Structure 1
Amino acid sequence: MLYDVVIAGAGPVGLFLSCELAQAGCSVMVLEQAESADSPLKRLPFGLRGLNAPTLEALDRRGLLDAVAATQVLKPDKGAPPPGTAHWLAQPRPLGGHFAGIPFALDAVDSARWGWRLPTPVATQMAVELQALEAVLTERATALGVRIARGSAVQAVHVAETEVAVETGDATVRGRWLVGCDGGRSTVRKRCGFSFVGTDPEFTGHSLQVELEDPTVLTPGRQYTDQGMCNFNPPGVLALADFDGGAGHRTPLDLEAAQALLRRVTGRDATITALHLHSTWTDGARQATTYRNERVLLAGDAAHVHSPLGGQGLNLGIGDAMNLGWKLAAVLRGDADAALLDSYGAERHPIGARVLDWSRAQVALMRPGAGSRALASVIADLADTDDGATYLAERVWGVSQRVDLGTGHPLIGRSVPDFALTDGRRMGELLRAGQSVLLVFDAGGTIRQRAEGEMHRLTCIASPVHDALGLAAVLVRPDGIVAWACDAGGDEAGLDAALQRWVGAAGGA
């Protein structure tokens, strides 16, 4: 069978992308190396993941948010977080997030500065368990007809003019397109000639679940030392940063070696009596120079890797999938030629580069030495101000994220505000079908008529809203990004070009 798209990797990014494509009528096969979806590293405490505003908006716009919210780790009616979760979540003052472990207060964030945002039931952040998130996405993908083959590792890729053949050892799977969502060590990226550039690691991060003879020897929370950093969440969850240039990454660690590592990094005479779980990571930051090579594309960690500091990686990958899915589906339907896919890398690569720099900046605060501690003190002072907290929230929550779509109305390139229609519907609900939406706030005028030629690919709604933010109309892409906007009484120029580029895109973008 020839699938429309073969996806390598059944993590959140690959699964979300498969849902996007299947909803648009594409046939999808997902190949996953792991035999089972279950893994202790995907469960708490190591499986804790933070979802930011763009990710939560994406889930809402596809009708997945309620199911994901039902699995969240920190619900409003709960008290302290589960044992072993990040220490900064258990602070008495409500917190908005952190930067290299430096917290900023939720009540110091001035959201009134984000004039393009409207009140919405969609949160700006949510803590979930990775395995639970994948379960929700797997259920949706399966319901849409996506085939998921576990225990199928990509071994070789052969790219022809009209299709891609993927060898898994015991089978060859054929697809018109291949998307590598197979992680930081992506086989697809390596086999298909993508260049992966960036900076080498400075430290090895160790996540450990242990039993300690005397937990009181260690101080709860994040402590910086002459060798690195220790984040201790009692009774036995540890995150260590050993500034060894990444030498310890993926090195087997037995109990004796783990104890030596803990004592070296902390400088404390701690004794480990049992080692239950161990994984490593580094702060190496690399990015593919292009996200597309002929009929092969990359998304998620296959396209960019960085340290997990600040929890941006999963969100970055979901954003890739949201951007790529509708474009690839449009190409497969014949609504657009392959040139539209070039906009995927053009839009997502700069966002990825910015996140990599955000990660590198946090490493600078973690390095051993008086200079880093002094710099961290300055950042802590800034984070304690309204301006500093608001800036950090913009970056951590993703609310300042903007796609470069050129000049025009200042709303273009931003996530569309969650307009509330007077009939009770919200903007997020209007995007459930995965189509572009032209929302006209005044039923009169010529704007609606100019879109009639694209009505089979466009949802056009003329309706008043409770707060139009001074706009007359807004054209929204399937991924929720504003492609065109016009102020009330303003110039309607650019609508025809936007409709051609993002809706009737056959012939190029």
Structure 2
Amino acid sequence: MFVTNDVTVVGAGPVGLLLAAELALSGATVRVLERRDEPDKAMKAQSINVPTAGVLDRRGLLPAAEQVHREVVERMGSVVGASRFTGHFAGVVLDPGKVDWADPDLAAYASADRARLVPQPQLVSLLTGHLARLGVQVRRGVEVTSLEDTGDGVLVGTSAGTIRTGWLVGCDGGHSTVRRLAGIDFPGTDPEMTGYQAIADIADPGQLADGWTWSERGAYRYGPQPGRIATVEFDGGPADRSARVTLEDVQASLRRVSGTDVTLTALRGEPTRWTDNTRQAATYRSGRVFLAGDAAHVHPPFGGQGLNLGVGDAVNLGWKLGAVIAGWAPEDLLDTYDAERRPLGAWVLDWTRAQIGVLRGDPKSAALRQVVADLLGTRDGTTYAVKMISGVTQRTDLPGDHPLVGRFLPDLALADGTRLADHAHGGGFLLLDRTPDGAFTRLAAPWGKRVTVVADDQATPVGVLVRPDGVIAWATGATGADGLETALRRWAGAPGS
């Protein structure tokens, strides 16, 4: 096989699928290779954060995600009820009743809460359908065996033959073959614990306490949905993390940390084993090879932060690489991918590292856990943690004085009953123009179809320029267009190109 295409994406998890879809929206030809013969059904992230829900919203996928959310809530029943999703910090569950939901950061993204409980397998299914509608298929059962960056493309050796591609992106997980073949270092901290997650049939569930419970051996969580189990043991990490997880593995771990002889009779679905191995790639780009998702960063899976961080990588890189391929953006635009995503990745790594110190079963950690629980039990503490976990405070460092610049697009209602996000399904730039004479529209006209202009009645903000990844590149509360042309040239290329 010898195939030529613009971009080859390695890995058909949520990050690879979304990246391929963003590239397809930009007009690039894209191929997805996946070593697995079937989609991964293992238990991983059980929810998505606000920026990820915003991505689905801007691509017209929010209704499907909301349906998944409703189904999850129905399965969980009275455990969830009408409560809004909050999460936990190192097992300290955040009480939704103590959150200041009127906080401006939370109130600005209220629509995302209807689609937060989307487990990773369902998200993969949703994105697979989205990608198929864009005309891109996943080639399964194909492993990458070699790569050579030739300067004007990449020769990729696979188990099915050789592919020539313009660009190669590794979305192939923490043990990334692409990262290894590209020679990119992966520094960080080694694991000190082993965790299991499973849904099981339990002969004697009365032996287990609901919620998180600690012991000298570690911790376990039972619930909130029936049969869901998570365990944490500080045993130095597993000898072979890739080994298949068995019922006996999960049961033995649960017995050790719970101090009971609880009996599991069956596992439903595929359980997972995980660690606190925490690393970040030395660079997200090497020539024509990029890394995204777990290939670029790994850490403990608390709150599904890895999934959400990878989704952010995909939408950030997707439009930029598509713009360079289309010819209207210079190649140095690609340097902003590492510059913008690395700081957020580093923050997530430290956020999850901090939770390891609180999770341990020793007396010092137990004392620290009580202090953290007291702080998170206050209105301010709970609100702070929920804002961090939900991602509503995430910002990209961009020039501009308006408070919206660098933020992800919030809920902006328009006079016709739509929201600005409803106009983003095509994947291009959005320009909101609320000037009385259409001044912003006229200024943006030379950029043609690259920028979709949405005119609206006068309100605040008066103007907003949104990049394809949902990041606000320019905003104003006045009718003057100061800075708009600069932002357009910086992000949307030269006019008419």
Select the residue among 60, 64, 67 that pairs with 1:67. 64
- Give 1:85's aligned residue: none
**CA separation in 1, counterparts of 2:267 and 2:409?**
48
Counterpart AA for 1:96: T
- Give 1:433's aligned residue: 426
The answer as to 2:154 corresponding to 1:164 is yes
Aligned pair in 2 of structure 1 residues 237, 451: CA closer, same or farther (>3 Å)? closer
**CA separation in 2, counterparts of 1:30 and 1:99?**
35
Aligned pair in 2 of structure 1 residues 346, 213: CA closer, same or farther (>3 Å)? same
Select the residue among 118, 126, 131 that pairs with 1:128. 118
Aligned pair in 2 of structure 1 residues 91, 164: CA closer, same or farther (>3 Å)? same
**CA separation in 1, counterparts of 2:422 and 2:266?**
50
The answer as to 2:313 corresponding to 1:311 is no
Matches within 5 A, 1:489-508: 492-504=481-493
**CA separation in 1, counterparts of 2:454 and 2:199?**
53
Counterpart AA for 2:152: T
Offset at 1:93? Answer: 6.7
- Give 1:246's aligned residue: 237
Counterpart AA for 2:24: A
- Give 1:80's aligned residue: 76
Classify the secondary structure of the residue corresponding to 1:443.
Answer: coil
Counterpart contact for 1:22–1:28, Cα < 8 Å:
yes
Offset at 1:241? Answer: 1.0
Matches within 5 A, 1:390-409: 390-409=383-402
Classify the secondary structure of the residue corresponding to 2:388.
Answer: helix
Classify the secondary structure of the residue corresponding to 1:70.
Answer: helix
- Give 2:32's aligned residue: 30
Select the residue among 254, 258, 263 that pairs with 1:266. 258
Counterpart AA for 2:76: A
- Structure 1, 222-231 or 47-56: larger mean CA deviation: 47-56
- Give 1:57's aligned residue: 54
Offset at 1:23? Answer: 1.6
TM-score (norm 1): 0.89
- Structure 1, 47-56 or 442-451: larger mean CA deviation: 442-451
Counterpart contact for 1:73–1:128, Cα < 8 Å:
no
- Give 1:143's aligned residue: 133
Counterpart AA for 1:411: L
- Give 2:330's aligned residue: 337
Matches within 5 A, 1:172-211: 172-211=162-201
Select the residue among 15, 18, 34 that pairs with 2:17. 15
- Give 2:287's aligned residue: 294
Aligned pair in 2 of structure 1 residues 207, 317: CA closer, same or farther (>3 Å)? same
Aligned pair in 2 of structure 1 residues 182, 376: CA closer, same or farther (>3 Å)? same
Offset at 1:409? Answer: 1.9
Deviation sequence 1:390-448 (CA, Å, 0-9, x none): 11111111111101113432211001232222122211012112111221111327433
**CA separation in 2, counterparts of 1:447 and 1:211?**
60
Classify the secondary structure of the residue corresponding to 2:117.
Answer: strand
**CA separation in 2, counterparts of 1:207 and 1:423?**
46
**CA separation in 1, counterparts of 2:83 and 2:455?**
44
Gaps of 5+ in 1: 83-88
- Give 1:107's aligned residue: 97
Gaps of 5+ in 2: none
Offset at 1:280? Answer: 1.1
Counterpart AA for 2:262: A
Deviation sequence 1:306-351 (CA, Å, 0-9, x none): 1111221111111111111111110000011211011111111111
Offset at 1:15? Answer: 0.6
Counterpart AA for 2:89: F
Counterpart contact for 1:33–1:151, Cα < 8 Å:
yes
Aligned pair in 2 of structure 1 residues 95, 267: CA closer, same or farther (>3 Å)? same
Offset at 1:116? Answer: 9.1
* Cα root mean square deviation, aligned: 2.6
Aligned pair in 2 of structure 1 residues 120, 222: CA closer, same or farther (>3 Å)? closer
**CA separation in 1, counterparts of 2:129 and 2:17?**
10
Percent identical pairs in the alignment equals 44
**CA separation in 1, counterparts of 2:322 and 2:86?**
36
- Give 2:340's aligned residue: 347
Offset at 1:289? Answer: 2.0
The answer as to 2:359 corresponding to 1:363 is no
Offset at 1:21? Answer: 0.9
**CA separation in 1, counterparts of 2:83 and 2:136?**
44
Counterpart AA for 2:444: A
Offset at 1:207? Answer: 2.5
Offset at 1:212? Answer: 4.6
**CA separation in 2, counterparts of 1:119 and 1:280?**
33
Counterpart AA for 2:341: R
Aligned pair in 2 of structure 1 residues 417, 133: CA closer, same or farther (>3 Å)? closer
**CA separation in 2, counterparts of 1:79 and 1:430?**
33
Aligned pair in 2 of structure 1 residues 176, 110: CA closer, same or farther (>3 Å)? same
The answer as to 2:478 corresponding to 1:485 is no
> Structure 1 or 2: larger helix share?
2
Select the residue among 2, 13, 26 that pairs with 2:4. 2
